[in-house]
Amino acid sequence: MEAFLLENGNFENYGLEHLVCFSSCILGIFLMLYIGKKHWSDDQNKLYLTIICTAGALLQLFKVGYRYQVGYFDVTNDLPLHLCNILTLLMPFVVWFNWKKLWGITFFWIIAGCAQAIFTPTLTESMPHYEALRYWVVHAVIILVALHGIVVFNYKLTFYDAFRSILAMNILAAILYPINVALQSNYMYLNAKPPGKTFYDLLGTWPGYIVALEIIVIVLFTMMVLPFYKDKIPAWLKSK
């Protein structure tokens, strides 16, 4: 239990543990997509995916409850207000109530934003610490839900989904920024870049990286939608 609960600070990006956890997440996601596509009915997919998402959400909430209980709770860091944490709490409802529009909004956040977190983790604790377990499970679960909609449920994305996603992200940022200022926190990394080596390091200093992120978001979201419009490309253009 001490190994599970006490901080160790031993995680290193691009080390063996990172490689093992990253590979496990990818393999687990593809395995669940395969089972969902080949072996489960729509009702089974809905039920089992909701259970998986709920487990991820409970693990996220465990962090808040445990740290508060033992007196380690830090309002500047432990509230579930980072984008991936918010998505983890939303996903059980998205799946169970089949909220396709909300899935369309969150898909872009997950694939363009949260998915990079498994490539460049902002993690300090190594396994078997609960924070390491929470980090990898949370990110694997939300990526699974995003891809599950396309691979298993055959959802299609539109430019309206991309527009709504960009708009919703900016609204969320507008809500969180004053909260960060009031709490002296950095949720969604709006007030400073995340610690460690991440892709944010390529985007300059604050607030320049915020503007760069807006441009990157527009470009990435547009590129993610284009494959769903391939059937509308004129024949003469396809031939070239």
11-25 pLDDT, tens digit per residue, is 888 899 999 999 999
CA distance from start to end of the chain: 62
**Distances in Å between the alpha carbon of 48 and those of 44, 45, 65, 90, 152?**
6, 5, 25, 16, 13
113-150 pLDDT, tens digit per residue, is 788 888 888 888 889 888 899 999 999 999 999 999 99
**Can you give the pLDDT at residue 61?**
92
Higher pLDDT, 102 or 121: 102
Q: How buried is 144 (Cβ within 10 angstroms: 0-12 exposed, 13-18 middle, 19+ buried)?
A: buried
81-97 pLDDT, tens digit per residue, is 988 899 999 999 999 99
CB count, 10 Å around CB of 143? Answer: 22
- Of 24-28, 50-54, 105-109, 127-131, least confident by mean pLDDT is 127-131
Confidence at 67, pLDDT banded by 50, 70, 90? confident
* 107, 161 contact by CB (below 8 A): yes
Q: Which of 182, 205, 180 is nearest to 190 (CA)?
A: 180
149-177 pLDDT, tens digit per residue, is 999 999 999 999 999 999 999 999 999 99
